[in-house]
């Protein structure tokens, strides 16, 4: 590339801008070209897929792969970041269909990029999530003509999420079916999702593989007496090791109602801190159903996007609740296992698969979680530390980003002809 390239700022980071019509000096023809569609792009500001793409590119080991990453944006800038060619995809504000339109426009841009560069051989188009199933056959034909392959990450059970209306759920399920049908390979980040795909769509004989999501386990750079941490605790009315914690999206399928109700039934004198993006409608509904506002132990503390502060808050929690039951490997669960010693998880296959015997489990039966909380309050420090050691070992062996990146590079390089 030329040395006089200008620089632009994306998500607060300075990146090298690329000329819009450069053709042959952006990549090496002897590398496997991988086009990633479906994340909101990198540099990552938030989100599971975004963090995945960030880690995949910044931890790249093989010099035989070149990544191209689409980014949802309000302009059409092109730039280089983590060695990847990144391109903005301008998408209008069109409501719920925005994500579908974005995926289609990004996939078309990647296909057109390859068409304009005949020297690209056997490209991989990796689509994250199953949003564009009804349209994928049209693009799959073009991918085949290029000598390329279509890889898909099916994500979790999007069609089961309570936030969607019945027609939208029907669309997600139908779209998933068609993405599975046309994919050359489905990369599942959960063994339970892989099992579901293979069993539900056996008629298509889907080719699948399992590669987990990764977790960052580096301790917070903040000290226990750091003013930023102590100030946050004071503002929220919390004390170190005297609060249970939950971090996650504020949606019904994450079982906030059950966790709040059961906490209110427990005898614990500790607080329950909920770090979440509060929706007024759901919060008011929860208030009516549970009356949590009358229990001073329960504290909705808002969102927290400072990574180091969030790590410190996790490290100093007495215990962590995880109520997710829809989807695959959840990033917030991996982080909990990496930073909090005592984890109390909803007993579903996705969570058992990740934590194994490094956590305690609860179900949605009346009184079950409340009893577990009371029992957890009485646990010896040695028992809690032993669970924490198991949890950290589990993350280190199966969910480190180095391991995940290695697995992905093996898969991508196996496509070389």
Given pLDDT bands bounded at 50, 70 and 90, which one contains residue 4?
very low
4 or 25, greater pLDDT: 25
Question: SS3 breakdown of the chain: % helix, strand, coil, rounded to 5?
Answer: 45, 20, 35
User: Residues 274-319: pLDDT tens digits?
Assistant: 998 887 887 888 899 999 999 999 999 998 988 899 999 999 999 9
d(CA 194, CA 208): 7
Is the pLDDT reported for residue 21 higher than 60? no
Q: What is the mean pLDDT of residues 118-145?
A: 96
N-term to C-term CA, the chain: 27
Percent of the chain with pLDDT over 70: 93
Strand-pairing partners, residue 151, are 126, 185
Percent of the chain with pLDDT over 90: 71
* pLDDT for position 162: 59
* pLDDT for position 95: 79
Q: What is the mean pLDDT of residues 140-167?
A: 82
Is the pLDDT reported for residue 156 higher than 60? yes
**Weakest mean pLDDT among 142-156, 159-173, 278-292, 395-409:** 159-173
Is the pLDDT reported for residue 161 higher than 70? no
Asked whether the beta carbons of 136 and 179 are under 8 A apart, the reply is yes
d(CA 240, CA 224): 9
Angle at 31 between CA 409 and CA 44, to 5 degrees: 55
Given pLDDT bands bounded at 50, 70 and 90, which one contains residue 13?
confident
Q: What is the mean pLDDT of residues 92-100?
A: 85
Is the pLDDT reported for residue 99 higher than 50? yes
216 or 200, greater pLDDT: 200
d(CA 367, CA 122): 56
43 preceded by a cis bond (ω within 30 of 0) = yes
d(CA 317, CA 244): 6
* pLDDT for position 410: 97
d(CA 239, CA 313): 10
**Weakest mean pLDDT among 43-47, 215-219, 284-288:** 43-47
Buried b (16+ CB within 10 A) or exposed e, 223-248: eeeeeebbebbeebebebeebbbbbb
Is the pLDDT reported for residue 395 higher than 70? yes
Is the pLDDT reported for residue 256 higher than 70? yes
User: Residues 352-385: pLDDT tens digits?
Assistant: 999 999 999 999 999 999 999 999 999 999 999 9
CB atoms within 10 A of CB 325: 19
Q: Are strands 32-37 and 343-346 parallel, antiparallel or unpaired?
A: unpaired
* pLDDT for position 230: 98
Given pLDDT bands bounded at 50, 70 and 90, which one contains residue 3?
very low
What mean pLDDT value characterizes the chain? 91
């Amino acid at each position: 590339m030329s040395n006089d390239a200008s620089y632009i700022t994306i998500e607060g980071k300075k990146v090298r801008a690329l000329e819009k019509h450069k053709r042959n000096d952006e990549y090496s023809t002897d590398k496997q070209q991988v086009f990633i569609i479906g994340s909101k792009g990198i540099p990552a500001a938030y989100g599971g897929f975004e963090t995945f793409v960030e880690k995949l590119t910044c931890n790249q080991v093989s010099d035989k792969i070149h990544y191209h990453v689409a980014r949802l944006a309000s302009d059409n800038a092109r730039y280089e970041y983590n060695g990847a060619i990144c391109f903005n995809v301008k998408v209008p504000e069109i409501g719920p269909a925005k994500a579908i339109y974005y995926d289609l426009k990004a996939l078309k841009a990647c296909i057109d990029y390859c068409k304009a560069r005949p020297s690209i051989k056997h490209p991989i188009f990796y689509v994250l999530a199953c949003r564009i199933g009804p349209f994928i056959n049209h693009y799959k034909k073009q991918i085949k003509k290029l000598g390329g392959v279509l890889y898909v990450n099916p994500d979790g059970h999007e069609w089961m999420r309570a936030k969607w209306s019945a027609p939208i759920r029907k669309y997600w399920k139908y779209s998933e079916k068609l993405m599975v049908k046309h994919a050359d390979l489905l990369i599942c980040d959960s063994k339970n999702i892989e099992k579901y795909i293979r069993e539900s769509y056996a008629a298509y004989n889907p080719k699948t593989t399992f590669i987990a999501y990764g977790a960052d386990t580096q301790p917070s750079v903040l000290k226990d007496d750091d003013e930023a941490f102590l100030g946050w605790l004071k503002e929220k009315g919390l004390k170190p090791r005297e609060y249970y914690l939950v971090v996650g999206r504020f949606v019904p399928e994450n079982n906030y109602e059950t966790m709040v109700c059961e906490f209110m039934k427990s005898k614990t004198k500790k607080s329950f801190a909920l770090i979440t993006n509060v929706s007024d409608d759901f919060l008011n509904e929860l208030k009516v159903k549970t009356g949590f506002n009358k229990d001073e132990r329960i504290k909705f503390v808002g969102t927290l996007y400072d990574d180091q502060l969030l790590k410190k808050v996790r490290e100093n929690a007495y215990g962590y609740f995880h109520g997710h039951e829809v989807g695959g490997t959840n990033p917030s669960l991996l982080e909990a296992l990496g930073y909090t010693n005592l984890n109390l998880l909803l007993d579903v296959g996705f969570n058992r698969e990740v934590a194994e015997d490094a956590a305690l489990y609860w179900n949605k039966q009346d009184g079950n979680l409340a009893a577990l909380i009371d029992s957890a309050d009485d646990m010896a420090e040695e028992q809690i530390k032993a669970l924490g050691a198991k949890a950290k070992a589990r993350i280190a062996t199966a969910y480190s980003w180095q391991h995940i990146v290695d697995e992905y590079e093996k898969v991508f390089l196996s496509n070389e002809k």
